[in-house]
Copies of this chain bind each other. A is one copy, B any other.
Amino acid sequence: MFAIYLECSKCGEKVDRGQKAQLCPKCAAPLFVRYDLDKVKAAFSPKKLSDRPYNLWRYAELLPIENEANVVSLGEVVTPLIALNQLGARLGFEALLLKDEGLNQGGTFKSRGAALGVSRAKELGVRAFAMPTNGNAGAAWALYGAKAGIRAHIVMPKDAPYITRLECAIAGADLYLVDGLISDAGRIVGKAIAKNGWYDASTLKEPYRIEGKKTMAIEIVEQLGWQTPDVIVYPTGGGVGLIGIYKALLELRAIGVIKTLPRLVAAQSSGCDPIVRAYEAGKKVSEFRDNSRTIAFGINVPKPIGDFLILEAIEKSNGTAIAVSDATILRAQSELACAEGLFVCPEGAAALAAAYDLLQRGWIRPDEKVVLLNTGNGLKYPETLNVNPPLLGKDDEIPV
């Protein structure tokens, strides 16, 4: 295990990695796990991986678990990187790929964060955690928490995807709905933590979920034969996935596995676009987006706590941020299903819509290798679709 300490992502303060650490004790910014990358470089090589299980745990040198016995696994898989040849050609891309995070346990990339977050919480002796959620993260943490024997207290908006409520409940979590937004859920969780001393598993308030999410980037690089694509487009709400991808890429470059970084794109909905607004205004942090509203519930985050990290990842990778309309998102979702047989979540569809927009503007060239992240399975969002197939009687025939 090569993690050496936690480091504040803003002020650089170092924190003992053996603590149940939350935010930076000095400036309250998120903490990052730091590794002895010289030692990782000496220990890690792509060739060593051939004998390891084909899942995210194969990247052990870049993960923060000290004792393998603490790994909490629900049967992780390496999610597929799928060439969108038909749709890509029609839209004008020569190499368009989709990393399908919908095949994670629970149908969401949030499971990667929960796998590492809960495993490390178990290792640190956590008995109970609490978190606000827009649905998917809470569900993933509830399920991993159940396996770990850690009590989960979850608060989600009543409008969060209905199925995530079922996942929390069947896992035995202590679940509450709130008549409000995730920010309201966050306040309720904050009060409960202050009173009960639970571990705070809120986004970026614990340093380990990001270590799980960063494995998306390591997998992409391995799946491309240890090469980087030219562009990665990520649907961005809280943005931890994008921050994790950027962190992984820096680590892979530091240990000599890759040489160049892909340009990172934050795709948002025009109904909730704080990162796009901040990026376009040349700012380092975002402003609260009032009256945010989008069909892509997972990216309805009006003021991400890690906004400065998202903006840094975009800027330093020569990336960009772009917003697309809900109508465009729904059209992209339909096109992915009709042309490629993939039923993605609205957030994943936003990534496609954003990439197409950037291609048309010339920001992406047709010959560039572009990876879209589909962050979840379309199966989890029945409420975003409305179909009315004809109803036949038993003796009817299919109309010609």
**A interface, CB within 8 angstroms of B:** 50, 54-55, 72-82, 86, 100, 103-107, 130, 143-148, 153, 155, 158, 162-163, 165-172, 174-180, 184, 187-189, 191-192, 195-196, 333-334, 337-343, 377-380, 382, 385, 387, 389-394, 396-398, 400
Copies of this chain, count? 2
Contact A179 B394 (CB under 8 A): yes
A-B contact pairs, 18 of them (CB 8 A): A54-B54, A74-B341, A74-B342, A75-B81, A77-B79, A77-B103, A107-B379, A143-B343, A145-B341, A162-B382, A166-B343, A166-B387, A170-B333, A174-B398, A178-B394, A179-B392, A188-B396, A188-B397
Contact B389 A175 (CB under 8 A): yes
Contact B385 A166 (CB under 8 A): yes
Chain B min CB distance to A353 (Å): 16
Contact A146 B337 (CB under 8 A): yes
Contact B341 A391 (CB under 8 A): no
Given known pairs A188-B396, A380-B379, the reply for A146 and B389 (CB within 8 Å) is: no
Closest to A167 in B: B343
Contact A80 B82 (CB under 8 A): no
Contact A172 B338 (CB under 8 A): yes
Q: How far is the CA of A153 from the CA of B75 in the complex (A)?
A: 35
Contact A337 B79 (CB under 8 A): no
Please give, as numbers and ranges, the residues of chain B lying within 8 Å of A144 by CB-CB distance: 341
Closest to A339 in B: B146
The contact of A170 among B174, B177, B385, B393, by CB within 8 Å, is B385
Please give, as numbers and ranges, the residues of chain B lying within 8 Å of A343 by CB-CB distance: 106, 143, 166-167, 170-171
Chain B min CB distance to A2 (Å): 26
Please give, as numbers and ranges, the residues of chain B lying within 8 Å of A393 by CB-CB distance: 178-180
Q: How far is the CA of A380 from the CA of B165 in the complex (A)?
A: 13
Contact B340 A176 (CB under 8 A): no
